[in-house]
Amino acid sequence: MKRLFPLFVLIMWMGNALAADKTIRLATPPGGFPPFIIVAPGQPTSGIVVDVLREIAALQGYQIRHTDAPKKRVEQMILDKQLDASPRAIEWGGDPKVFLFTDPVVRIRDLVFSRRQAPLNYRSPDDLLGKSLGTHLGYIYPLLTPYFDSKKILRADAGTEKSMLLMLQAGRTDALVMNELVALWLIKTENLHDQFTASETELDGYEYRLMFGPQWSEFVAHFNRELGRMKRDGRLARVIDKYRLSAP
């Protein structure tokens, strides 16, 4: 019995350690990125990407732990194993030769929004010539960069999406470019109904995924299989519809 007791303790300790390891540390930007990542005081973190990850991770016995992480440090924190994953489009950074990207969870569509009282029918960047366009500080818009550089389109930066909408509402810009679902979410939550109109033509678009560290290959493979099932059986559509708001 004296020999068995330490073995029993070791087995229990290993079991607890393994249980503790069943956690995915997800990088959460300060303030979130609604409706993909919604952070509210006193409420569980939610959103399209969070809900999908939580559902799939639970099937493998994992829990999600949200960790505030400065955007510029996320990649290094994942490599240092201080974080496990981050929502990301491949085009936004992260070397696919180093990091593992899941299959797309949802497509991000950048649309042009304008005031309903002064609508702008966007079909191509030429429709923005001579206009002041609301943009997000620090964001890159590859299609529009030559126009910004030549001053053919005037870039008006704001620090948040909400500030961009308020600038447009006040007439300080002629239009703005913003992710469709983000804009619709803000229009709803900030009670800005019937004030804006969205272009039918997409200015740009990206596939929103999850980026994992290289040690997560088995889980990413499982994630992709289950995500495929969610797309086929309608579960993914139901998650997105929960956060999708009607176009203005």
Place of tokens 């992260």: 94
**136 and 164 Cβ atoms separated by less than 8 Å:** yes
Kindly report, as residue ranges, where domains of CATH 3.40.190.10 are found in the chain.
19-106+208-243, 107-205
If you average pLDDT over residues 121-138, what whole number do you get? Answer: 97
Residue 200 has pLDDT above 90, yes or no: yes
Question: Over the stretch 51-83, which tens digit does the pLDDT of each residue have?
Answer: 999 999 999 999 999 988 888 899 999 999 999
Confidence of residue 17 (pLDDT cuts 50, 70, 90): very low
159 or 17: which carries more pLDDT confidence?
159
Q: Is the pTM of this model over 0.85?
A: no
- Quick one: how far is CA 53 from the chain centroid? 12
Domain 107-205 fold: D-Maltodextrin-Binding Protein; domain 2 (3.40.190)
The whole-number pLDDT of residue 62 equals: 97
Task: Report the interhelical angle of 235-243 vs 48-59 (nearest 10°).
Answer: 150
Indicate the Cα dihedral angle 87, 140, 110, 222, nearest 10°.
-20
The whole-number pLDDT of residue 135 equals: 98
Question: Over the stretch 220-248, which tens digit does the pLDDT of each residue have?
Answer: 999 999 999 999 999 999 999 888 764 44
Confidence of residue 19 (pLDDT cuts 50, 70, 90): very low
Please report the beta strands in 29-125, taking only residues with DSSP state E, as ranges in sequence order. 63-68, 85-88, 100-101, 106-115
10 or 200: which carries more pLDDT confidence?
200
Q: Which pairing describes strands 23-28 and 63-68: parallel, antiparallel, or unpaired?
A: parallel
Which CATH number is 19-106+208-243's, of 3.10.20.30, 3.10.620.30, 3.30.1490.20, 3.40.190.10?
3.40.190.10
Reference 222, options 70, 100, 111; nearest CA is 100
Token pair recorded at residue 217: 């290959």
Residue 88 has pLDDT above 80, yes or no: yes
